[in-house]
Amino acid sequence: MTLSFEVRSASAKVGAVEDSASSLLPRRVLGRASPLTRALAHVLGSLDGIDVATAATTPTVFASAFGEVSALTALLGQWRAGDDPISPLRFVGSVHNAASGAISIATNAQGFTTSIAAGNETLCASLLEAAGLLTTGAAEVLIALADEPPPELLCRTRPTCVMVSGALWLRRLADPGPRGNAGANTILTLEPNRAGRTAPPPSRQGLHSTVAENPVGEVIALVEALRAGVPQTLALDGGWLAHLSARPERAAQ
């Protein structure tokens, strides 16, 4: 079976987001936001053509394998230091859907939002969740993924991966609509990667190790492939292939 949809636009960032002119969060909220929330708001806000009104009315899938690592680290530190009570704001900010909540409040998004995780398969899982939404009524879906390095205090050796974030604006294939930026208007087709087929190289191959080791590092490979505008196939963690091809009208030009 295959699932196809159009990629209207895509964005990605390697490294932390300290400040962002394109964030969906207003400045007063941005300053208080966690690194993960800042990154997710930044990549969403960086999608070509996005605005607050669109973000407010488009189902959004937030995804992170590890969740709010910085907030968790701070809370664990407070606990071990004997702080009582721990910070209520920090506690609420440590839930996996903190970014989803903050962005929905900032944009007045009252519809569907979710916050998911699937280890190294997080990108694949978010694409399939989006495919489910597009197949069952949504005309468009936003995906935003990000992961910080795992918490150093819970790792035996210092983590070597860097923060990675990415966002995709997907549209149901049957719907016409305005074209997005370079690398957009690409058809993304998901197909199970059947055993025995000659598979393309895994999507993390070719990425710098500090990116490849990030659970959502694959999104960098996907966004770079989208920007290249060349038909290609990526083998995603999770056992699915992502075929990228041009929109038929574009191919005919």
Partner 1 sequence: MRALPIVAFSMCSALGHDVAETRAGLAAGRDGLSTIEHLVGEALPGPFVVGAVTRELARLPAVLVPVETRLLRLAAHLVEGLDGAPERLVRRYGATRVGVFLGTSTAGLAASEAAMAAFARAGALPMNYEFASHHAYGALLDGVRKLCGCTGPGLVVSTACSSSAKVFATAGRHIEAGIVDAAIVGGIDTLCQLTLRGFASLGALSFAPCRPFSVARDGTNIGEGGALFALDPGGDGAVVVRGVGESSDAYHMSAPHPDGRGAVSALRAALRAAGVDASEVDHVNAHGTGTRLNDLAESRAIAEVLGRDVAVVATKGLHGHLLGAAGALEAAVTALTIQDGLLPAAPRVVPRDPECDVRVIESPTRSPQRLALSCSFAFGGNNVALLLGAS
| Interface contacts to partner 1, rule CB under 8 A | 1, 3, 56, 65-67, 72, 75-76, 79-80, 84-88, 91-98, 100-102, 104-105, 107-122, 124-125, 128-129, 131-133, 135-136, 150-151, 153-156, 192, 215, 238-240
- Vertex 44: Cα angle to 40 and 50 (nearest 5): 165
> What are 7's strand-pairing partners?
170, 186
CB of 128 to partner 1, least distance (A): 5
CB of 219 to partner 1, least distance (A): 15
> What is the secondary structure of 184-226 as a DSSP string?
-SEEEEEEE--TTS-PPPBTTTTS-HHHHTSTTTHHHHHHHHH
Of the pair 85, 176, the CB lying nearest partner 1 is at 85
Helix (H, G, I), strand (E, B) or coil at 149: coil
Of the pair 26, 239, the CB lying nearest partner 1 is at 239
Beta-carbon contacts of residue 148 (< 8 Å; ≥ 6 apart): 16, 35, 36, 66, 69, 70, 163
CB of 229 to partner 1, least distance (A): 27
Of the pair 162, 183, the CB lying nearest partner 1 is at 162
CB 178 within 8 Å of CB 18: no
Q: Return d(Cα 225, Cα 247) in angstroms, integer.
A: 15
CA 107, 112, 115, 121 dihedral sign is negative
Q: Return d(Cα 24, Cα 233) in angstroms, integer.
A: 31
Nearest to 164 by CA among 25, 44, 11, 12: 12
CB of 181 to partner 1, least distance (A): 28
State the number of CA atoms in the 13 A half-sphere of 236 facing the CB: 30
Supply the Cα-derived Rg of the chain in whole angstroms. Answer: 18
CB of 169 to partner 1, least distance (A): 19
Of the pair 178, 196, the CB lying nearest partner 1 is at 196
CB of 243 to partner 1, least distance (A): 16
Of the pair 177, 192, the CB lying nearest partner 1 is at 192
CB of 175 to partner 1, least distance (A): 16
Of the pair 153, 228, the CB lying nearest partner 1 is at 153
Of the pair 118, 183, the CB lying nearest partner 1 is at 118
